[in-house]
Amino acid sequence: MPPARTALVLGAAGVAYRLAALLAGLPPTNSDEAVTGLVATHIVQGREFPLFFYGQHYMGALEAYLAAPLFAVAGPGVVALRLPNLALYALFLVLVWQLTRRLYHPWFATAVVGLLALGSDRILKNQLIAGGGYPEMNPAGALLVLLAVLLGLGVVRRRASAFAAFGLVAGLTLWDDWLVLPYVAAAGALLLAGAGRDLAGRGGAALAAGLAVGLLPIVAHNLTAAPEHRSLAAYRQLGGGTPGDWVERLHGGVLFGLPMGTGFCPPGRCAGWQLWWGVAAPLLLAVAGLLALRALWVLRPASLRRGVPRPASPRRDDGVHTERIRQGGRLALVGAAAVSLAAYAGSAAAGDTPVESSRYLSCLLVSLPALLWPLWAAAGDHLLPAAARLAARAGLAAVAGSAVLATGALVADADALTRADERRRDLVVALDRLGVRDFYADYWTCYPVVFATRERLACGVIRDDLRAGWDRYPAYPARVARADRVAYVSPTGTALSRAVADRLAATGIPVTRTTVPGYDIHLPAAPVGLPLR
């Protein structure tokens, strides 16, 4: 079977696996995704057309707009919310195969697609959950690099359209999520190096037009927002945390972050032996970069090799030019991955919350071909010693084996992971039985209930200190504050549950206490002054 057909079969298996997971309720939904669903609901209803995720001024609401047509047809729901993300994943596979076969080899491209067909808990969260930015970043990054390669190679028939598409996607990323900017920059540099002459004519005009359209949402926001809510200010505040010890950041951002973020670990944890990828991946990235630089050095113009300046010949050597673009594309993947990894490892999140913040390395999947190429090339290089070839093949087997085990761990934990959604459904049934329509709860409990009940129930966020928490959509806590009958919901055994129980006991007001699996419900007979002012 030829490589293209094999890749199609492997890619179809990856899509089918994710569709099955989606229909089974994996990964479990969360409040961030519920907020995206509420945005999509409001768009369909014509109530609001926000540019950003509710409650913040960064991360564009693109996923909500993609889901809105499905909501209009099938009604709001997690499946409809995630189906566009599944389509984006399928597009990512196509783009990566095309990019890898152009830069490397068709069979290597097929192997990369096979690896991307697998999916750990962290990978499926990034690719399916509509929590803002992650499902669309990888297709965007891969598309930009592919367009730069194709335009540089001169194999695009409608070049103006390709330039316009490049500008449009690059502009939209500035609205959607800035994590993909290293790939935008790398693709832009490659485009300038490979097709820079076209930018002085129709190509440049088309790119500028596409960029102008793509930038419309972010420009509109920055022209109308208060200074503290503009993009640079918002992202500056995100990076304003105090970085932890450099050893913690190096461990969380590289040693732990790489295997967790690229799909080599089971849900929420990495065993010690799985951290090998955190050591190997940076070394492979460095080797890949050196190989590309060495190839470009060999391919430098003859005038530079002799040190004698000569005017450029109007007729270029197509073979040399093609190889320069290929090596430049490889170097672009390496450079973008290196910048992404360095930026994450230097952040406070890498040391403080490596399990969840490892999602910031999601874009590294675009550079997976560059990471694995040194192993693939060495495994088949008969000029190398047999021991070196064997070691390379063992490395490839370890990569594939780690991804398979992590995928298997997700499947094995499926029942435990879906219990969260089951408990949430039981909570809604209990609230309905008690006649409760308005309640206070922690952030992670609030919004999935509001979205699942299509806003029939409303929730305000309350913190462990019993003060009002971060409400992304102020209309909900405002409604709860006006209600005559308000319940307090908290996960069983948490600090919030204990604090609410103690406060209610101190008031002397009669309280109906109900427990459902995973949650405590406190329903006082009269207002109790919570949240505290």
d(CA 428, CA 431): 5
Structure confidence at residue 195 (pLDDT)? 92
What phi and psi values does residue 18 have, to the nearest 5 degrees? Answer: -70, -35
The DSSP 8-state label assigned to residue 52 in this structure reads B
What phi and psi values does residue 37 have, to the nearest 5 degrees? Answer: -65, -40
Structure confidence at residue 310 (pLDDT)? 46
What pTM does this model have? 0.94
What phi and psi values does residue 102 have, to the nearest 5 degrees? Answer: -70, -40
Structure confidence at residue 315 (pLDDT)? 42
d(CA 80, CA 78): 6
Please report, for residues 104, 229, 262, 326, 349, the alpha-carbon distance to residue 165 in angstroms, rounded to integers and kept in the order given.
Answer: 24, 29, 28, 21, 34
Structure confidence at residue 176 (pLDDT)? 92
Structure confidence at residue 241 (pLDDT)? 55
The DSSP 8-state label assigned to residue 29 in this structure reads P
Structure confidence at residue 239 (pLDDT)? 61
User: Helix, strand, coil % (nearest 5) of the chain?
Assistant: 70, 5, 25
Q: Which residues of 314-344 are buried (b: 16+ CB within 10 A; e: fewer)?
A: eeeeeeeebebbbbbbbbbbbbbbbbbbebb
- Tell whether omega for the bond before 369 is within 30 degrees of 0, i.e. cis: no
What phi and psi values does residue 25 have, to the nearest 5 degrees? Answer: 85, 20
DSSP symbols for 118-165? ---HHHHHHHH--SSSHHHHHHHHHHHHHHHHHHHHT--SSHHHHHHH
pLDDT in tens, 473-523: 999 999 999 999 999 999 999 999 999 999 999 999 999 999 999 999 999
Running along the chain, 533 residues long, what does each successive block of 10 average in pLDDT?
A: 95 98 94 96 96 90 96 96 98 98 97 97 96 92 98 93 97 93 97 92 94 94 84 73 74 93 92 93 97 92 56 56 95 98 92 90 97 96 93 96 96 91 94 96 96 97 95 96 95 95 94 95 94 92
**202 contacts: CB under 8 Å, gap ≥ 6:** 159, 160, 163
pLDDT in tens, 460-486: 999 999 999 989 999 999 999 999 999
